[in-house]
Amino acid sequence: MFRFPKLYKFKRLSLIVLLVAAFATTVVNAKVKGVGHYGYGKVATAEEIAGWDIDIRPDGRGLPPGSGSVEDGEILYEDQCASCHGSFGEGVGKYPVLAGGEGTLTEERPEKTVGSFWAHTSTLFDYIRRAMPFPQPASLSDEETYAITAYVLYLNDLVEDDFVLSQDTWDEVAKLPNNSNFVPDPRPDTQAVRCMKDCKKEVKIVSEPTITAEEVAAADDTIVKAAAGNENEKGASVYNGACAVCHNSGVAGAPKLDDKATWKARLALGEATLIKHAIEGFQGDAGMMPPKGGRMDLSDEDVAAAVKFMLAEAE
């Protein structure tokens, strides 16, 4: 079941003692104030709570109604996840690996994945629904989340290809293989002493950085530096902040910034149309361009500047 430091398991009594202690030490609370003392805010209704209460706990508390199959999950995963996490969960570039790595935790380079490291399936469902797919967080329906969660389990060889995940089958998969290998924090776990003299016989340098500061700077491939003649600074900054996440690598079918042929073909529509598509969103053959790249805080002018920057880069 749950494993957490004994320290934090305390009874009602110690809780009250702590409460009193906490208040006694603060200047602003001379004595414990009763429930509703200030009366600020509005009492939350069940409906209001339900809209935000999205967490799933290891025992399945919080799971929504619905279900999803490995079969449906495969299509959704290929469509919405594989561009970053790989078709087999192997991870593309620096994006996280989701599958494999079993038995590597004690090796020199451990590979920590859902199958090799994670403890609870609830964490997977909860996280996918709250934060993925990365460019459009919290966009998946409950049914889709069930299906994709089932598929990630399948990628980790934890269920068969006919598996359907729902509240009814939850207990079968609730605990992931590495579940029993998490332990409470034992720190302080070092016993250094304050020696002042002759603390060791000799000192040898055992390691130095292998890369230079210049190499580090040169390796900055996440920021597109404008090509000569492209003086659209605002566009560059909007692009790097809001559009690069898809258009640098071609994630989700986004035309890559340096794919000149694609941009030339698209430009046939005219710059105004491309700007309109970028602002309003656009479903094409390649994929789905979300309105303003999902960044609704950007003004239309910001997005237009970014499109102009992209087109100038592609020239």
Partner 1 sequence: MRQPKVEETDRLLTEIAKSGDQLPAAERRQFLKSGLSMLGGAAALAGAAKYAPPNVPPWTKSLGAPVIADPYGQPSPFEKDVVRRNVPWLTADRIASISFTPLADIKGIITPSGLVFERYHAGRPEIDPDEHHLMIHGMVDRPIILSMDELMRFPSTSMIRFLECPANGGMEWRGAQMTKLQFTHGMLSCCEWTGVLLSTILAEVGVQKGANWILAEGADGSLMSRSIPMEKALDDALVVFAQNGEALRREQGYPIRLINPGWEGNTCIKWLRRLEIGDSPYYQREETSKYTDLMPDGKAREFTFVQEANSVVTTPSPENPLKGKGKYWLEGLAWSGRGKVKAVDVSFDGGISWRPARLTGMIEPRALTRFGLEWDWDGSPALIQSRCIDETGYVQPTYTQLRAVRGSSSIYHKNAIHTWRLHADGSVTNVQVS
Restricting to residues 38-97, which ones interact with partner 1 according to CB under 8 A? 38, 40-44, 48-49, 52-55, 57-58, 84, 93-95
Q: Which helix (H) or strand (E) holds 303?
A: helix 300-314
- Tokens representing 4 are 């957490």
- Tokens representing 305 are 């500047």
Q: Which of 7, 228, 261, 268 binds partner 1 (CB under 8 A)?
A: 7
Q: Alpha carbon 122 to chain centroid distance?
A: 15
**Is 248 a binder of partner 1 (CB under 8 A)?**
yes
**Is 101 a binder of ligand HEC (CB under 6 A)?**
no
Q: Least distance from C-beta 209 to partner 1, angstroms?
A: 5
- Tokens representing 158 are 């934890």
Q: Which of 56, 63, 84, 236 binds ligand HEC (CB under 6 A)?
A: 84
Nearer to ligand HEC, 59 or 111 (CB): 111
According to DSSP, residue 243 is labeled I
Q: Least distance from C-beta 116 to partner 1, angstroms?
A: 10
Number of C-beta neighbours around residue 165 at 10 A: 28
Q: How far apart are CA 64 and CA 126, in angstroms?
A: 11
Segment lying near ligand HEC (by CB under 6 A), choices 10-18, 53-61, 130-138, 176-184: 130-138
Segment lying near ligand HEC (by CB under 6 A), choices 13-21, 183-191, 210-218, 278-286: 278-286
What is the chain's Cα-based Rg? 26
Query: In the beta sheet, which residues pair with residue 289?
Result: 282
Cis amide linkage into residue 291, ω under 30° from 0: no
**Angle at the Cα of 188 (from 186 to 193), degrees rounded to 5?**
150
**Is 205 a binder of partner 1 (CB under 8 A)?**
yes
**Is 209 a binder of partner 1 (CB under 8 A)?**
yes
| Interface with ligand HEC (CB under 6 A) | 80-81, 83-85, 95-96, 98, 124, 127-128, 132-135, 148, 242-243, 245-247, 251-255, 266, 269, 274, 277-278, 282, 284-290, 292-295, 303, 306-307
